Each structure stands twice: as C-alpha cells, then as structure tokens.
Structure 1
Amino acid sequence: MTVQDSATTGSPIAVSGGTLLAGLAVLMFSMTFPATVWALDGLGPWSVVTCRMVLAGLVAGGCLLAGRARLPARRLWGGLVMVALGCIVGFPLLTTLALRTSSTSHAAVVVGLLPATTAVYSALRTGTRHSPAFWAAAVGGAAVVIGFAVSQSGGRPTTGDLYLFGALLVCAAGYAEGGRLARELPGWQVIGWALVFSLPAGVAGAVWALGAEPVHPGAKALAGLLWLGVVAQFAGMWLWYRGMAAIGVGRASQLQLAQPLLTLVWSVALLGERLTPAAPLAAVAVLVCIAVTQRC
C-alpha cells in the first residue's frame, strides 16, 4: 500500500491545479544542477550555498510580510527546522560540493533515487507498511543507482558520489517533513518559514564565504545564483508544497520521476555535456523502479 493523503480526495479542478503546480515545480528543480554549475563558474561552493539561502530568505520574508502570515505554532518548529536542514542547507551544500567533480548527468541519475528515498523515510517516520513489491522495486532502484555510480567512477565510489548519497538522505527527510507540514500550514508558508529560520545562518555564512573564497561574478555565475535562490529554492518549493497540499505527497512524488531525465536534457543543451550510453539507460531504469514503488 502507499501513503494516502486526504488532499487526493479533492475536486477534479483542485487536483488538476495541484498537478500543474507540482509539475511546474519539477521543471524548475530540473534546472538546479546546471544552474549550480553556472554559479560555480564565478563563486566558491560555500558562497553559492549561503548566497542562495540569503536571496531566497529575503524573498520569502517579504512574501510572508506581504501576506501577513502568522508565526507557526511551536509544535511545528521542529518540522520546519528539518525542512531547513534538509532542503535549504544540506541538499544544496552536498550537491554543490559534488558538482565540483561530478557531471550534471551523473548527478542527475544518482539523485533520481530521491523519490524512493523519500518514500522510505516517510515509511519509517509514520510507520506506514508497504507491499513486498514496493520494497523489491526500491532495492532494485538502489542497485541500479549504486551500480551506475561505481561503474562511472572506475569501480569505486568517488567523493562526489558520497556527497550525492548524503544529499539524498537529508533531502528525503526535508521533503517528508515538508509534506507532513503541508497538511497543517499553507504550502507556501512551509518553505517560507523554513527559509526565514535559516536566514541568520545564511547571512553569517555568506559574509564568511565571500571573504574566504575567490569571487569572480560574471553574468553566467550571477544568472545561476539568481535561478538557485529565487526560482529553485523559493518559487519552486512554494509551488511544490502547494501542489502537495492539493494532490497529496504520493501523487506529487510521481511527477518528480521526470526530473532526472529533464536534467539530462538540460546538461546536454546548456552545458554541452556528452552522455555515456549508461546514463539515460540508468535514468530510465531508476524511473521504472520508482514508478513501481509509487503504485504499490
């Protein structure tokens, strides 16, 4: 069985709107890795992560003020901190560090396991029981991802792969907690408050990073940073949580299965990368395995 959300029982219009919002969010997320590569063209990894936090936090704070949003109840703060640690700090930092040595196509395939990882975390967090077919598909997807990563690194995992697998774990926790919170808070406020909670650390980190790392902000680096901070980190997550609130975590997760393939397309079109035959095959295999987990 899969986790059933009350949001999935809404009207057809609400479901269609939620699907559109979540689909747009996935499209925005698929550009994250190419945008990160652009940002790294003129900034260090710590500068990229902290500056995107500051940009997104300022935009989120302005929206919360304009919307006169009330501070969430204290019982929700723990979940918001988990969203911040997983989606705002952990995943961006670990993937940025990984992309210093890994190609975007390689990273896209590895991170293609994120929906299944999120499902596993959610099952452990909520105690939901899944069918044997679900776990068989999850293990199969993990085997494909690990096999691809090892084959591309000459028979052993690289430091970039370790960063990517760590990113999977922390982002899965952030997604699962955010999906849970979206049942109690408006979806846009989930990421909005998490970003505001992260803003002091982001400002302090940006001051340190910009002074410690070389900074050569060309047009490409600034464009990448703006996409990461304003579009992917805030607008995309806003649409993502609104979509999940409308159609449920399960349905929204299925839409994210397209993200690895979209990122592979962007890596070729925007970065001029060449795909090995194994990359698209591994991406498709992972998507098939994850699709099974979402339907069991």
Structure 2
Amino acid sequence: MTPTNHDTTGTRAQRRGMWLGFVGVAIFALTQPFTRLAVGTTDAPLMSGLFVAMGRAVAAAALSAAWLLWARAPWPHRQHWPALAMTAFGVVLGFPLLTSIAMRQVQAVHASVIVGVLPLATATVGALLHRQRPSLGFWACAVAGSALVVAFALLHSGQAGLHLHPADQLLLGAMACAAVGYGYGARLSQHIPAEQVICWALLLALPVTLPLALWSWPAQPLPSSAWGGFAYVAVFSMWLGFFAWYRGLALGGTVRVSQVQLAQPFLSMLFAVPLLGESLDFTTVAFGLAVVATVFIGKRMPVNTPHPISTPEHTKRSPT
C-alpha cells in the first residue's frame, strides 16, 4: 500500500519532534550540575534553593515578557488558562523548587539516576491527558523503571531499613511535578505556539515567584561560578529549553517523544564530572543503564492512539 500524504506528513512531524525533543533534553541535562554550582553543598552553601527556583523563574519571566511583546503574541483564550496554571505549577514552581533544595544534599550524578524515572512519568501523564492507551508491556516497563529508581535511592540513602533520603523524596516529587507540567504544556502546544506556552506560564506565576525571589535574595557576596550556574538555569533550563521541548512533544506526541529523556541521566552524569569534579561509581552507572533499558524497552511497546498525530493547529497555514 502506498503511503498517503497524511502518513508522510505525520512521520515527518514525528521525526522532527524527536529531534527537537533531544535538543530540549540536552539543555535540561545540564540543569542538575549548574543548580549544584548555584546552591553549593551542605559544607559550603551558596544560594538558597528557594532563591534559585524563584529567581530563575523571575529572570525567565522578564525574557518572556520581552519576547511576547516582540512577537506581538495575543492573549491566550480563556479555556487555556487552567492548563497554563497546571504547567506553571509543574515546571515553574514545583520542579525547580524541589530540585534546587535537593541538589545541595546530593551530588548531581546521584540526582541524574533519579531523573531516569521522568520519561516514564511524562509518558504516563501524556497517555492520560491525550487518552492514549499504552499496552500492558509499556506499563510493566514503567513499574520496573520506577522500582529501579526507588531501589537506587534506598541503596544510597545511608539509612538502615526502607527509608528514602529526604533529598530523594524531594527529587521524586520534582519528577511528578515535571511530568504534570510537561503533559499540560504539550497539550497546550497543540493550540498555541510552544514558545508562548512557557512564556505565559512564567508570567502567570510571577505574582508568586517575584516576592519570594526578593525575600530570599542572597545576603552575602557569592562567587561568579554560583551566578554562572544561576544564569544557565534561568535562561536555558527555565526558558529556551522549553521552546524546543514543548514543540517536540506537540509534533511527535508526548508518549513517544518523552522517551528521548532516556539520554538525560547519562548526559547529566557526563556533564557533572568536568563541571563539578564528581566521579562515577559502578553502582550508579549500572542503575542508570538499567533504568534506560526499561525506558528503551517501553518505547518499543505499542501505544494505541485514538487519532493520528497531526500538525499542531497554530502551525497550519491557509493557502494564499
């Protein structure tokens, strides 16, 4: 059977979505190492986690306001504001705050393994929001990947019995927040440009982020490395990365493109070594590989989609 133009267009959109998703993941992979640079360690604390989370959102909101004015972007429709609020809750407030607090207590390499559960969490939220029906094999991989992440956290908690380190609890909560923010942001990107999704979400959260950023402003002078780490997470992790990420999710489908995140733990680990002088041990690499394996297998499991993936509405152009 000869493929139709719709099939060809859908395949091209999925391929482009995967590449855009990878660009976003590569940008996000540096978030943990640069956040560690900004907050410091328990022995040598720098910025507070609250300031890093709220401050980066305020800086990105300022960039967003300038970009929206330059682009002459219209106000979102009323029906889009609830989804924008969920996006803001997940990726502007919840994920940055929880990770910034946790990163002072654990190394970036350790946190990278916990991030390994994010692809499956994002796919789960995407399946629910887009009414897709992943197969039983997909869910089995999701459970296996989550179990590996929890086992790794328990093994490295340093406590007797089944007790997660508080930082690991924060990181797991951050993964849940990110998955919600990614899912709602991807759905919105089917209706409004991906760039506008993160910009409006940042501006919507500004009444919360601005007062908290001012209240938690560092009282002491800080090294340039801390401000460099803060600048990266503000401009790239909190803003530009979402331009590519939400567009990729919209074009390729949340469930499928979310699996590109399988590369994120290893990229974060590799970046952490030269940036922070951290080391990789066998256990961390082994668990990281195992988590990636479950995600890779899950990616190959069938996902029943009620409607084929089409080009997002805002990218369609009427004939002239």
TM-score by length of 1: 0.92
Quick one: distance in 2 between partners of 1:22 and 1:108?
A: 18
Quick one: distance in 1 between partners of 2:222 and 2:66?
A: 25
**Would you say the 8 A contact 1:43–1:215 is kept in 2?**
no
**Would you say the 8 A contact 1:188–1:238 is kept in 2?**
yes
**Would you say the 8 A contact 1:8–1:247 is kept in 2?**
no
CA distance 1:46–1:222, change in 2 (3 Å): same
| 2:92 pairs with one of 88, 93, 98 | 88
Shift of 1:23: 1.7
**Would you say the 8 A contact 1:8–1:248 is kept in 2?**
no
| 1:43 pairs with one of 42, 47, 50 | 47
Listed as ranges, the matches of 1:248-259 within 5 Å are: 248-259=253-264
Percent identical: 37
CA distance 1:259–1:8, change in 2 (3 Å): farther
**Would you say the 8 A contact 1:43–1:214 is kept in 2?**
no
CA distance 1:159–1:241, change in 2 (3 Å): same
More helix by share: 1
Quick one: distance in 2 between partners of 1:84 and 1:9?
A: 34
Listed as ranges, the matches of 1:69-218 within 5 Å are: 69-154=73-158, 155=160, 156-210=163-217, 214-218=219-223
Please say if 1:233 is aligned against 2:227: no
Give per-residue Cα distances to partners, 1:235-277, cap 9 Å, x unaligned.
0011111222332223421221100000010111211112221
Q: Which runs of 5+ in 1 are unaligned?
A: 1-6
Query: Could you say which structure has the greater relative contact order, defined with CA pairs below 8 angstroms and 6 or more residues apart?
Result: 1
Q: Which residue of 2 aligns with 1:294?
A: 299
| 2:283 pairs with one of 270, 274, 278 | 278
Q: Which residue of 2 aligns with 1:3?
A: none
**Would you say the 8 A contact 1:112–1:283 is kept in 2?**
yes
TM-score by length of 2: 0.85
Quick one: distance in 2 between partners of 1:79 and 1:248?
A: 17
Q: Which amino acid aligns with 1:166?
A: G
Q: Which runs of 5+ in 2 are unaligned?
A: 1-5, 41-45, 302-320
Quick one: distance in 2 between partners of 1:293 and 1:93?
A: 29
**Would you say the 8 A contact 1:95–1:163 is kept in 2?**
yes
CA-atom RMSD, angstroms? 1.9
Q: Which amino acid aligns with 2:102?
A: A
CA distance 1:8–1:46, change in 2 (3 Å): farther
SS of corresponding position for 1:112:
helix
Give per-residue Cα distances to partners, 1:152-201, cap 9 Å, x unaligned.
11242111011011111111111111111111111111111101111222
CA distance 1:9–1:158, change in 2 (3 Å): farther
CA distance 1:276–1:214, change in 2 (3 Å): farther
Q: Which residue of 1 aligns with 2:65?
A: 61
SS of corresponding position for 1:221:
helix
CA distance 1:131–1:18, change in 2 (3 Å): closer
Q: Which has the larger radius of gyration?
A: 2
**Would you say the 8 A contact 2:98–2:171 is kept in 1?**
yes
